[in-house]
Amino acid sequence: MTITIIGAGAIGGVLGAYLARSGEQVIFCDIEQDHVDMINTAGLTIEGPEETFTIIGTAYTPEQLTKKNIVIETVFLCVKAQHTEQALKPFLPFLSVNSQVVSFQNGLCERQIASLIGSERTIGCFVNFSADYLEPGRILYGGVASLYLGELDGKISNRIEVLREKLQCWGPAQVTDNIWGYLWGKMSYAGLLYGTALVDATMAEVVRNPDLRETLMELCSEILETADKENVSPLGFDDWEPTLVYPRKTRNIEELNFQLDKLADRMAANKKTKSGIWRDLAIRKRKTEVDAQLVPILEIAKGHGVKTPLLEALVVAIKEIEEGAKQMSWNNLYDLEELNKSLPNTTGEASVEIVP
């Protein structure tokens, strides 16, 4: 099996490097010519908490790879959510009936991929390790975290078992019969991460702020309520536990605070102390994935009649920072807190009372 990594940046670069080092046939594909050239010549270097290593790989730009006119068996799609269709479309003619595309992305990208190639050729993936593209041929890796593979229909197939085995060279990849549970669980976590990016501070500093926890958890609850309406049971990972946040009526403040403290400790210990969202806004000065991650949730929520005032305000604030109309500030989070205080204490779910 040849694995084609489309998007050889942070996530794709790390996974591809580990797979190539273990002897797997890997093709790297990236739009950045200088990154492609570096992988082919000096190599791709992964700087992790446990080790730093370099592999010499085989890399192409999309234009170069399509000109080779070869069948693409297995795709690891590792691009930003907003680039899903743009990245995959050039390769559609080169996919066979037995090809498979695995979405190593943030968001609900599997829905879009399946619309392009069919659900039978789409494999869901939840991946949560942190990494940053630093420069051509160089990636900062935060260390092993959670990775789950799953069929969209919940079946445990032979093909995902094969992929799980191959990914053991990276770490403890697992399979699941509830991939949508992990994906929606991560989207609720994404709401929290977008919230932390409203201020120029570490993720841990924001999560540890007791003044803001109630507002941040209500923000996440809007996403979790939407998942509930989709008949999905969100799952937890890496010290994020959606069931402690939602349903609101069963929320226990002591248990939740204990878990959030654990989450903050994990964030502080990570080599990457600020989110990729923060990096897009503060360092790269480019748009985040908000339009491809949170905006679709607003649309799904609207279809179910779920009210999402905090999520809507968060999206507006992120876009204002993207456009330079607003700066990162703690005031942005306290504005959300004021909005939360102004909202009625019910959501159609009977009660939002926090159990003491």
Q: Would you write out the chain's pLDDT as a tens digit for each of its 356 residues?
A: 999 999 999 999 999 999 999 999 999 999 999 999 999 999 999 999 899 999 999 999 999 999 999 999 999 999 999 999 999 999 999 999 999 999 999 999 999 999 999 999 999 999 988 888 999 999 999 888 889 999 999 999 999 999 999 999 999 999 999 999 999 999 999 999 999 999 999 999 999 999 999 999 999 999 999 999 999 999 999 899 999 999 999 999 999 999 999 999 999 987 779 998 999 999 989 999 999 999 999 999 999 999 999 999 999 999 999 999 999 999 999 999 999 999 987 444 433 444 33
- CATH number of the domain enclosing 171: 3.40.50.720
Let me know if residue 132 belongs to a domain. Answer: yes
Q: Per DSSP, what are the bridge partners of residue 55?
A: 44
Which pLDDT belongs to residue 292? 93
CA neighbor of 183 nearest in space, from 127, 225, 229, 141 = 127
Show the domain range for 210. Answer: 181-342
Match 């200088």 to its residue by tokens: 34
Q: Residue 334 corresponds to which amino acid?
A: Y
| Three-state SS at 170 | coil
Burial of 24 by CB count in 10 Å (0-12 exposed, 13-18 middle, 19+ buried)?
middle
Let me know if residue 348 belongs to a domain. Answer: no
Which pLDDT belongs to residue 272? 79
170 & 189 share domain: no
226 & 135 share domain: no
Let me know if residue 263 belongs to a domain. Answer: yes
**Which residue pairs, CB below 8 angstroms and at least 24 apart, start in 276-279?**
276/10, 276/130, 276/132, 277/193, 277/194, 277/196, 277/197, 277/318, 278/196, 278/197, 278/200, 278/328, 279/132
Copy the structure tokens of residue 29. 């594909």
How far, in Å, CA of 100 to CA of 334, rounded?
45
How far, in Å, CA of 105 to CA of 245, rounded?
24
How far, in Å, CA of 75 to CA of 101, rounded?
5
Between vectors from CA 12 to CA 328 and to CA 110, what angle results, nearest 5°?
A: 80
List strand residue ranges (DSSP E) for the chain, in order: 2-6, 25-29, 44-47, 52-55, 58-60, 72-77, 95-103, 122-127, 131-135, 138-141, 147-151, 174-175
Domain boundary residue among 143, 160, 177? 177
189 & 335 share domain: yes
80 & 149 share domain: yes
| Three-state SS at 290 | helix
How far, in Å, CA of 202 to CA of 130, rounded?
14
30 & 131 share domain: yes
- Residues 286-305 as b or e (16 or more Cβ within 10 Å = b): ebbbbebbbbbbbebbeeee
202 & 226 share domain: yes
Which pLDDT belongs to residue 350? 37
Copy the structure tokens of residue 193. 């991460």
130 & 194 share domain: no
How far, in Å, CA of 163 to CA of 158, rounded?
9
User: Which pTM was predicted?
Assistant: 0.89
Let me know if residue 355 belongs to a domain. Answer: no
Which pLDDT belongs to residue 271? 73
118 & 233 share domain: no
Instruction: Tell me: cis bond preceding 309? Omega within 30 of 0 counts.
Output: no
Domain boundary residue among 124, 145, 177? 177
Domain boundary residue among 142, 177, 212? 177
Let me know if residue 347 belongs to a domain. Answer: no
Tally of domains in the chain: 2
- CATH number of the domain enclosing 244: 1.10.1040.10
193 & 165 share domain: no
261 & 298 share domain: yes
118 & 216 share domain: no
